[in-house]
Structure formats: structure tokens, C-alpha cells
Structure 1
Amino acid sequence: MSEPGTINVEVAYALPGKQAIISLSVAEGTTALEAARQSGVTQKFEGVDLENAKLGVFGKAVAPTQVLREGDRVEIYRPLIADPKEVRKARAAKSKERRQA
């Protein structure tokens, strides 16, 4: 149970081999970006750029200014290293080549 004027939220971040869900109490009216900053995630993971990271709440993208509610989980998304559409196209072309050979 949280203190009056505070809410309980979680901040999640994951790499392929390491992940963390950090629980914290924040003041009512705290934004997604503020909660991410308060979580200390940048001390646990090198290279996390909160100012430019995409954020979400339970899998739905939100603005950094999104005000959080009790129980929300802020997710910090890593940038994509490859365009998924291009990867699918390349995989389909490779599969087509194998079938024709």
C-alpha cells in the first residue's frame, strides 16, 4: 500500500541476456519519463538514453509526458537494429531462392 499522495509503479528494461523490473513509489502526477529517471535504470544498464528512448505502458507506446496511474508498468524500449520489414523481405527472398534451386 502506498503513502497518501503516492502511487506504486514499475519500470522495466531488458537486454537479450539481462532484464530488470524495478518497483517504486512515486508522487501522484509523475510522468513516464520521470518514473524511468527515478528508477535508477541508468545505473543498472550502460548506455540507456532515457531522453531519446521510446516509452510504453503495458505494451502500448506513450509520450514521455504520460501521467502514470497506480500499478502502471513503464517499459523502456531499445532502438531497433534492423527494419523488421526488410528482414522479412530478405528471409522470403532467401526462401524463394532455395525452392527454385
Structure 2
Amino acid sequence: MPRRAGPILVLQDTTEFTLQRERSEGIGITYRVNSGKDKAGRFRMHTVCGLSMHSSLAVTLDGLPLVLSAIKFWTRTKFKGTAALNKKINPTRVPIEEKESFRSLENL
């Protein structure tokens, strides 16, 4: 393939793969969803099992794909960043290396 000169773009995206399981052990969790209300009118929540993938694709300015430059898979064992946690911790005080958004920087 001939060598190309000029700027390239690195496109990034996160994809979640969800799996139906009774228990999340061994696969991890992706998020919690509202399952509706129970007979008492309380909201029921359930955990969705799965894994996440963050990928980076290098392309030319014309949109020609060059290479899948990075890919990372991960799972969660617990939820971070929930509303209750955000009330206790100022997100600007959390080191970037401890945030999920750090995967974008690692892939770049």
C-alpha cells in the first residue's frame, strides 16, 4: 500500500455487549435498568450483564480507513459514578486514570 501524507483522524467509540445471565459473576456488569414497578408501586431495577469494548479507527480526511489502531475490552464488577456517589465525590477531584473516559486517552 502506498504511503499517505497528511493528517489522519482517529475515530473512537465504545460498544456494550450484553448477555442474558442469571448472575453477573464471571462476565461483569454493564448498567442497571428500570424494570417497571412492583405491586407496591416501587421501581424494580435489574442489572444487565456484559462487557464493554472501546475501539479506535485511523482514517484519512477523505474517510479511507487505514488501521484499527487500538481496542480494549473491560467489565465492571460494581457501579462507579452513580448519582449517590456523585453527591459524595467531586468528579473533578478524581484522577483521570481512575475514570472510564481514560480509555479514550489510552487508545489515542
TM bucket by the smaller chain? Answer: under 0.3
Which has more strand, going by share of residues? 2
* TM-score, normalization by structure 1: 0.26
Which has more helix, going by share of residues? 1
* TM-score, normalization by structure 2: 0.25
